Chains A and B, each alone.
Chain A
Amino acid sequence: MKDRALSMIRAFSPTMRRFTTKEKIWIGIFLLIILWGLLGFIYMAVEGHHVTGMRDNVFWGLYIANFAYFIGISYGCALILGALRLFKVQWRLPLTRIIESVMLITAIIGPPFIILCMGRLDRLHHLLFYGRIQSPIIWDVIAISTYIVGALLFLYLALVRDFAILRDNKEWVMKKWRKKMYTFFSAGFVNTPRQKKILNFSIDTLAMIIIPVAVIVSSVLAWIFGLTLRPGWHSSIFGPYFVVASIFTAIAVLICMMWFFRSNMKLSDYITELHFKRMATLLFVAGAIYAYFTFSEYLTGWFSAKKLEGELIHKMFDFSGNGYGWMFLFSTFIGIIVPLVITGIPKFKTIKNITFASIIVVLAMWVKRYLVIVPTLETPNIPIQDFRPEYLNYIPTWVEWSATLAAVSFFFLALLLLTKFYPIIPIWNVAKNGGESSPEIENENSQPVLNA
């Protein structure tokens, strides 16, 4: 194991210790976009929310769509991570660090979008001091804060062994601050039998608890919509629908990230074609369940055709330019059928095709979040009296688009910076469970990592 671990350190340390010119350029671009997003936020805070497209009727728009999207990815990652660990799936080992990183970063990106929606930021603390426990908004505040702590703990516990290896290795002569940092974060782990037992048990405990937590927080997010009487939202299936949508999106994002790291950090020895195929199978299963839920959801609304529900469905099939026909076609038909075909037929399951299918899912699921929120708010239960077009129809402004791009930039920037802080492939687990950690090797060495 020692040799394998040292060879991995030799492989990863150059990328961890310095930034390439390409990376520096990208960091500059990301920082500029984030800065632009911050300027947009300051402009909004000074001028008021009328600089956004949000009005009395459509009081949630791009911001909440982004919130649901990013936090949903995080919930999905937590569910995948917890389930793969508890089921002792060996092939997950090289992917766990990517999953944990995406889980944490998206959990941090999502919640600020709620704050962006608030008209009176000076009353933000009222949520804590005067919140009513009956309100799903308060459930969400409690759930998200609880979840973020869990995600952070999970990532940290999974990193302890690698921090210990990096602390003790003689292969990479690192700077003092880095050595001190690894010494501190390795929590004195020296791999005694007792420490091994405690650490494994702690990670298992978190893996076990993170699954129900992710299901609950995802459902709470769905209930913010589902517990209202609005058309398109008031649905008992919304809780599980959001859970499945989160898993579907998260798998697609993870496949894209696998491709990104594999191509840019030369990780083809660790992230193999078989990893893509296994993840594609998961994408297919999640996609099939999601397709079933989607069909059930829209069939119920369309068949019963209550006045406003019918109006909403009509907007989804309106291709005239006043409706959401094209967006609906992309998110609900292309975004489901194309990935299912690619991941369902073995002949099509190549790395490129699987990544292409995942990119479609990533985009389609963002459009889907937009379609869940905006058309419903444009179909109010009580018609408004002041029917200026901007009151009836929502069009996001540059302020909202800037915040969206800033969030995407933050995602990549944080991921890039984290790869300088810890190895993106878990050294300990992969070294211990066999070189490239490919599924074939795993069959020969099928000792569950829980017993490691």
Chain B
Amino acid sequence: MKSIKNHMIKFSRILMVMLFSVACISSPAQDEEPEMIDLDLTFSLQKLHDGARTLSIKAGSRVDKEFIAAEGITINFYGDNFGEEELIGTVTTDEYGKAIHRLEPGIKLPVMDSMGNYYLIARFDGDDKYFETEVEIEAVEGFIEMTIDEEDGLKNIMVKVYGFVEEGEEVPVEWASVSLYVPRLFSMLKVKEEFTDEEGKAYFEFPDDIPGDALGNLEIYARFEGDEFGMLESKTEKLWGIPMAIDAEVNVRALWSNHAPIWMIITLTILILGVWGHYAFVVLNLRKIRRDGKSEIGKEIAWENE
């Protein structure tokens, strides 16, 4: 009996030591500093149809192969101007770790060399969570042009993509994928995709079954995306869509418009008047009963007449 008791005491002591150890291991020390994390930056460049450029950044980190967005961090964009860094702009990332800096048309980027190459840097200066990080891209000035031609009812588009003009000569972008888009309600609809030839030209026959606005207007975008050029975009407007005039008269009386459908108003009116009419009839009858009762004052009822 005694030995069992001794064993139990021994066992409970071991258990307590184990529990204490587990508690110490599992609870972090109060004064332990948080671990610093490497920040991943994805930097891209877009040249829009109106001549504006956008510098886009996506910031985050990989934890257990899962991307965790870095929200609210400040990124500075620099241009390398012959060895000297020139601040272009500063952005703060949103909840998805994204931020865009727009350079209005006419603002020139620092040009590095005679070949049209330029260098851009996106830099994060570091904070108490992420290490300092920077990413640099080497870009080439590129151009995209769209030419429209209508012949025998065919709607033809030629898109030309070329690089920096070297000593007065264009450098075509060969065998590159170019796409046509039209904007729809939520996003851009890709209409067609073709490849450029050795002259950097891609030829499209535009379809004639795409809905446009009330007159048939369509906005047509040509886009090309290349590593060194970033995204290049060109835009034109043509009356090539199917006119989609919305007959407002049809929708004047609908569930979502200000005026209810006629049938609904008629039905409700009949129902409401029908029921309340009966109520009014009953109330009038009650008045008749009361009036009749006055002429019979003193004649205490009730069961006498039964």
Q: Which residue numbers of A lie inside 8 Å of B, CB to CB?
A: 1-2, 5, 132-134, 139, 142, 146, 149-150, 153, 157, 160-161, 164-165, 168, 187-196, 198-199, 201-202, 205-206, 209, 213, 216, 428, 431-432
Contact = CB atoms under 8 A, between A and B. Distances in A.
A198 B278 contact: no
B288 A209 contact: no
A187 B290 CA distance: 5
10 contacts: A2-B303, A132-B258, A146-B272, A150-B275, A161-B302, A188-B291, A188-B293, A198-B292, A201-B285, A428-B302
Nearest to B296: A190
Contacts of A1: 303, 306
Contacts of B256: 134
A188 B292 contact: yes
B2 interface: no
Interface string B238-267: 000000000000000001101011001100
Contact of A198 (B260, B289, B305, B306): B289
Nearest to A169: B302
A132 B268 CA distance: 13
B282 to A, nearest CB: 5
A153 B279 contact: yes
Interface in B38-65: none
B301 A168 contact: yes
Tell me which of A149, A150, A192, A431 has the highest count of chain B C-beta atoms within 10 A of its own C-beta: A192
A213 B289 CA distance: 25
A134 B264 contact: yes
A205 B289 contact: no
Given A165-B302, A168-B300, A190-B300, A213 B275 contact: yes
A452 B38 CA distance: 93
Given A199-B285, A205-B278, 9 more contacts: A2-B304, A2-B306, A161-B302, A165-B301, A190-B300, A190-B302, A198-B292, A202-B285, A206-B278
A361 B282 CA distance: 36
Interface residues of B, number: 35
Contacts of B264: 133-134
A198 B293 contact: no
B293 A190 contact: yes
A196 B292 CA distance: 11
A191 B282 contact: no
A146 B275 contact: yes
B281 interface: yes
B18 interface: no
B5 interface: no
B188 interface: no
Nearest to A4: B303
Contact of A209 (B278, B285, B286): B278
Main secondary structure of the interface of B (DSSP, over half): helix
Contacts of B299: 190
Nearest to B281: A205
Contacts of A194: 288, 292
Contacts of B261: 134
B294 interface: yes
A189 B293 contact: yes
Interface of B: 255-256, 258, 260-261, 264-265, 268, 271-272, 275-276, 278-279, 281-283, 285-286, 288-294, 296, 299-306
A5 B301 CA distance: 12
Contacts of A149: 279
Contacts of B293: 187-190, 192, 195
Given A134-B260, A142-B268, A188-B294, A157 B303 contact: no
Nearest to B293: A188
A347 B5 CA distance: 64
Contacts of A188: 289-294, 296
Contacts of B272: 142, 146
A216 B267 CA distance: 12
Nearest to B287: A187
B98 to A, nearest CB: 16
B268 A199 contact: no
A426 B274 CA distance: 30
A165 B282 contact: no
A192 B302 CA distance: 9
A61 B292 CA distance: 52
Contacts of B301: 164-165, 168, 189-191
Nearest to B298: A190
B288 A198 contact: yes
Contact of B268 (A5, A133, A150): A133
Contact of A133 (B265, B275, B305, B306): B265
A195 B289 contact: yes
Contacts of A164: 301-302
Contact of A216 (B258, B271, B292): B271
Nearest to B305: A191
Contacts of A213: 275
Contacts of B286: 157, 187, 202
